[in-house]
Structures are given as structure tokens and as C-alpha cells.
Copies of this chain bind each other. A is one copy, B any other.
């Protein structure tokens, strides 16, 4: 059994390591968690003891198979709850993250499976992120960011990398929501900002940073 705090660490480490591939440094984790590096050292020692991380002093951590499974269990719950909040309780996509951050720690396998069933076994959450299965399997997707798209090509928004309210409200404003079609009209090589056309209607300029956080297919 993991405490909510341990669960949050393992989930963050999973994300920071790009789904468990890369090693993650102490400072990277402390930045993400808004805790001191000293606290992180304590916690990664504990998680290593529980075999969720491989830890080499001064070398950072790598998440183990067991750690990945724990992270995916949590991510599954997080995304199912976000889906519930949007589809059943009429939350907007920028309101769900913080509540799901709490709900993901509720411990009841029956609740998770019934929620999944109630929602009709959804495959993606309101931000376009895939929902891991009960076995912890994530579908492979071949997405690229808006920033990586070629000039004069058209794509569909399928997900967002940043779930902050500020970012999502901005996307709502310019109309770049999931499902909308975007064509890249021009790219400023100096800073990577783009001029885009959304749904054949509005033309807007977006920064490189914004374009990095919009995932297309």
C-alpha cells in the first residue's frame, strides 16, 4: 500500500522519465513536486526500498516495472475521474485537473471498474490523453506537436500536453479545442512561433511554447 504522497511522487517520476524510459535527477523531481531536494532524497530512498525505483546515489532514479504499474494505476484513475467530471457533471476541461488530483487517491478497485463501465469504457480523457487499461497497458499513439508540423499541412488537435486552467482557457478562446483542424500558414524561424488557421475560419499567431503543448494527428 502506498500513501497518497508516495503515489504522487511515483506518478511525477513516471511522467518526468517519459513513461519510465529515462533516468530522473533529484532536482528535476523537487522542481516538479515543489519540495526541497532533501525531501526528494528521503522519498526516493523509501520508494527504492519498496522496489518502485532503482536508485544510485548521486545518479538519479529509474522507475522499475513495479513502479510503472503503480503509476499507470494512478493515471488510469486520474483520467477516468476527469472523464466523469466532464461527461457526467458538466465540468469544463480546465476545471477537472485539481479535483482529479484528489480523486485519484481513492482506493477501491470496484469503484474504478464500475466508473469505467458507467462511462462506457472511454479510451481518452478530456485532454486527449489515453486511459491505461486495468492491466496498465497504454495504446501507442503517433502524435506530433503543432510545432513539429510542416508548413501548409493540415492536422487535427487530439490532445494537450499542459492541463493547466490558464492554458486551456486560452485554447478555448482561440478555438483550438480537441477535434479542431489546424493548418500551419507560416513559421517564424527566429522564435518558432506560428501563424495558423483554425477550422478554416480564424487566423491567429501562437508562440512556440503554445505550439509545443498542442498534439496533432
Contacts and interface: CB of A to CB of B under 8 A. Distances in A.
Interface string A100-115: 0011001110110011
Nearest to A85: B111
A33 interface: no
A116 B38 CA distance: 43
Count of chain copies:
2
Nearest to A107: B102
A151 to B, nearest CB: 42
A35 to B, nearest CB: 19
A95 interface: yes
User: How would you classify the secondary structure of chain A's contact residues: helix, strand, loop or mixed?
Assistant: helix
A183 to B, nearest CB: 37
Interface stretch (A86-94, A126-134, A174-182, A186-194): A86-94
Interface residues of A, number: 18
A111 B110 CA distance: 21
B102 A114 contact: no
Contact of A90 (B85, B95, B99, B114): B114
A157 B98 CA distance: 41
Contact of A89 (B98, B106, B107, B111): B111
Contact of A99 (B89, B91, B108): B108
Given A91-B110, A106-B106, 6 more contacts: A85-B111, A89-B114, A95-B110, A99-B106, A102-B107, A103-B106
8 contacts: A85-B111, A88-B118, A89-B114, A89-B118, A91-B114, A102-B106, A102-B107, A102-B108
The 4 closest A-B pairs by CB, nearest first: A89-B114, A99-B108, A102-B106, A99-B111
